[in-house]
Structure 1
């Protein structure tokens, strides 16, 4: 009980800088490690050849869908749980946690079976070329089959973070990622298993993270018991879970769609270029996606710590604490994004060259894309704070609109139009242009949000008096 009270104190009364560091840094480190082992996969597989690197690049959208399934119930429940705890409704919070966990697992099993049954057509839809396909099938079969662990881990990451247990989440993700990084060179190079080895290493790492989360539950350290009998599919519970979870899932689906469109636009280049050039574009953009995602995932990790604080403060009608957490999160995330972006701008060739055995076309393409993304990611912290804030406050529609901007509303028309006008440059600069437009939209939505919060604050004070 003492541990539970400390978690609630962290969410509700600890100084904002202390609370953000305690909640944000562990999740940020966990996400950073997750991003690093994605890069380690790309590093070792990239040494096998461009087609092998292309295989894990075209499979990457599937991983985003898998994460999205976990977030559908994990993030949806996490947002609602934080607000329930802020109101003191611990029993309802327990029911929401159980409902989300078992619903997500069932949906995950259905997804895995369906994907494996139609794997080759799905990979073709993702933009896989004939030379990449054999490697993509080998990798994806194992990766998809083991994704039930990842779905469970994503849900648990969000649910237990909502109760203030960010350190456990960090440890679970950290342990799995480190094991994956250790096993990658052993399976890929020492045992000569190639992309199959990379998939097996990822599966074992994810399984270890699942074991850590299960240990946390079974040792009764969580305020949640996750009993099947506690599942409650009431209209209120499902409404609150899905109004936040669905926008989050859509965001992940749009992330997948953006990668698919990039791959398909690269495939369209085969009319005027060789298949080797097309494979270089797909592999190069895949490497860029993983590199940029290291910075974006770290920001997401930090904002995962901000979300429960914001949701708890809003549920408790502590508007002063809410506003302070928003300002501090924007400042810290923007400083980080500026530094990360500067690294990409100054050292693009050095970074991208680590993901190929000597494909200079891949390096040239990746270098230009990394530099452009370096400038645009400087706006990412500001955008992410507000897209996450809307969801934390239970404002699903606004969160959906803003979350869909960066890789949907803004990105899709740009990637469909620009390459036909300027060729390969349209593929390289589509995302940075979409980032800039999304940041401008965020400014206007943020202004309206703060006006709304001020009205709520004044109304609350009037009712109390």
Structure 2
């Protein structure tokens, strides 16, 4: 028996026989570490750029909105293929899993190239559409220019990382993301302060680190550390396969795309109140995502468990995995939110010690922390639907928080309550999306085979 076959059988037994709680923790730890390092980079980047001024700090929020578009494309093909791959591996179908992985990688690389070319052609228009004020625009334009060079590597990295994660090999993905995150933090310090490149240094650091991460993730497949294989001969132009990847990944595209849209809208609406309001909401968003990242990492650790065991027909383990992931996520979120609510001003001041920024961010941060414990329910329910191939339900769930509820709430509250309404919007969206998700969960659990 070949070493590849032995490794494949061992991986199958691990995913379908290891006690569920222990398995989710095992798969979550590398994912959580990767997300924490990535978010620490985002926070450090915000803090470093914040030393260049309020307009530069606001530009970070603008750039993150654009990077969310790049991430959306990577997640479309990564989550779409990953969900299919985990179910195929659960059914012992490695050949089709390799076709799916290779096709998704090719599609993500091509989409990144398209974003890069289109971005350079329409750069000035993009900066305006993203919500830049005249004072923020020069900083945002400089930063985005560097990001565009790395766009093909960024989309491909998101796809490769998701394929590794859905295989149950999150540790390999962690190596690539961890290296890139640490390199990014060091690069920020070197280019911004050491070489005095300003915001261009932050952009250059991002481009270099993303390219390095891509190289490491790709090497895992080249060195045959995975069950699936990446090869030109495995690329399929079958409309059925491409359609399946896109349809399964659509919830991720909606989630990331709507997240980008909400960032743009938030920047635009906040811009009425000046650069300090944009900077404040950008900083609060980074803090909240950092707090939420552990619960998100646990949910992503649950997805391969859910997909593998659903494909293997072990539905009891799917149920057990859902409740275990929800419990872990809730405990961490509640503890973290209590801590943040104790020192909101001090935390915001770490990123931009500006009285106007702190005043605008304080209430938004506290309100979002109060509502955040409701979010793991909607997030893990959506992941359950996506990982088990419930595409329509997953698409609906993914559009709730950042689309169906956030956009009209932002427009209404900002119109009638001004800045106070902007501060309240995200908290309202958290609660409404979780209430709706509960009904979807009840419906699904009743229909999941015993």
**Common fold by TM > 0.5:** yes
CA distance in 2, matches of 1:222, 1:313: 19
> Could you tell me how far 1:239 is from its partner in structure 2?
3.2
Separation in structure 2 between the aligned mates of residue 218 and residue 229 of structure 1, nearest angstrom:
14
Supply the distance in 2 between the matched residues of 1:401 and 1:94 (Cα, whole angstroms).
Answer: 29
- Say if 2:297 is the partner of 1:293: no
* Distance in 1 of aligned mates of 2:121 and 2:12: 45
1: CA distance between counterparts of 2:371 and 2:149? 35
Query: Which deviations, in whole Å up to 9, do the C-alpha atoms of 1:163-219 show, x marking residues without a partner?
Result: 111101111111110111112111111211111001111112112211211221221
CA deviation map 1:96-148 (0-9, x unaligned): 00010001111110111101210111111111001111111111100122122
The separation in 2 between residues aligned to 1:144 and 1:340, in whole angstroms, is: 35
Once residues 199 and 9 of structure 2 are traced to their aligned partners in structure 1, the CA distance between those partners, rounded to angstroms, is 46
SS of residue matched to 2:124 = helix
1:422-437 correspondence to structure 2 within 5 Å: 422-437=417-432
Number of the residue aligned with 1:238: 242
TM-score scaled by structure 1? 0.94
SS in 1 for 2:350: helix
1:190 and 1:244 mapped to 2: Cα distance?
Answer: 45
CA contact (8 A) 1:406 1:438 kept: yes
- Alignment length (residue pairs): 446
Contact 1:180–1:202 (8 Å) recurs in 2: yes
C-alpha separation in 2, matches of 1:131 and 1:255:
24
The reply to whether residue 189 of structure 1 matches residue 193 of structure 2 is: yes
Residue by residue over 1:431-450, the C-alpha shift from the partner in whole angstroms, topping out at 9 and shown as x without a partner, is 10011111110111110011
Is 1:339 matched with 2:335?
A: yes
User: How far apart in 2 are the matches of 1:67 and 1:158?
Assistant: 12
Number of the residue aligned with 1:254: 258
SS at match of 1:127: coil
Q: Structure 2-normalised TM-score?
A: 0.97
* 1:92 counterpart = 2:87: no
Please state how far the C-alpha of 1:58 moved relative to its aligned partner.
Answer: 1.1
Q: Which residue of 2 aligns with 1:111?
A: 115
1:303-352 deviation per Cα after TM superposition (whole angstroms, max 9, x unaligned): 11110110111111111111111110110011111112212211111110
- 1:49-88 equivalence runs, <5 A: 49-88=53-92
2:391 to 387, 393, 396: 396
State whether residues 337 and 379 of structure 1, in contact with CA within 8 Å, keep that contact through their aligned partners in structure 2: no
Question: Which residue does 1:168 correspond to in 2?
Answer: 172
CA distance, structure 1, for counterparts of residue 203 and residue 223 of structure 2: 31
User: What's the CA shift for 1:285?
Assistant: 0.6
Whether contact under 8 Å (2:75, 2:252) holds in the other structure is: yes
Match in the other structure for 2:313: 317
Partner of 1:460: none
Listed one character per residue, the Cα deviations across residues 29-73 of structure 1 (whole Å, up to 9, x for unaligned) are 101111110111001001111000011111111111111100111
Please tell me whether the aligned partners of residues 57 and 279 of structure 2 are also in contact (alpha carbons under 8 angstroms): yes
CA RMSD of aligned residues (A): 1.2
SS at match of 1:334: helix
**Aligned residues of 2:115 and 2:148 also touching (Cα < 8 A):** no
| TM-superposed deviation, 1:406 | 0.5
Instruction: Tell me the secondary structure at the aligned position of residue 355 of structure 1.
Output: coil
State the match for 1:272 in structure 2. Answer: none
Q: Which blocks of at least 5 consecutive residues in structure 2 are unaligned?
A: none
Aligned match of 1:307: 303
Aligned mates of 1:198, 1:103 — CA distance in 2: 28
What is the aligned counterpart of 2:223 among 209, 219, 224? Answer: 219
| 1:121 counterpart (125, 128, 134) | 125
Deviation at 1:298, TM superposition (A): 2.7
Partner of 1:329: 325
Where 1:164 maps in the other structure, the secondary structure is coil
1:149 aligns with 2:153: yes
Note the 1:442-461 alignment, pairs <5 A: 442-453=437-448, 456-457=449-450
Distance 1:73 1:398 in 2: 18
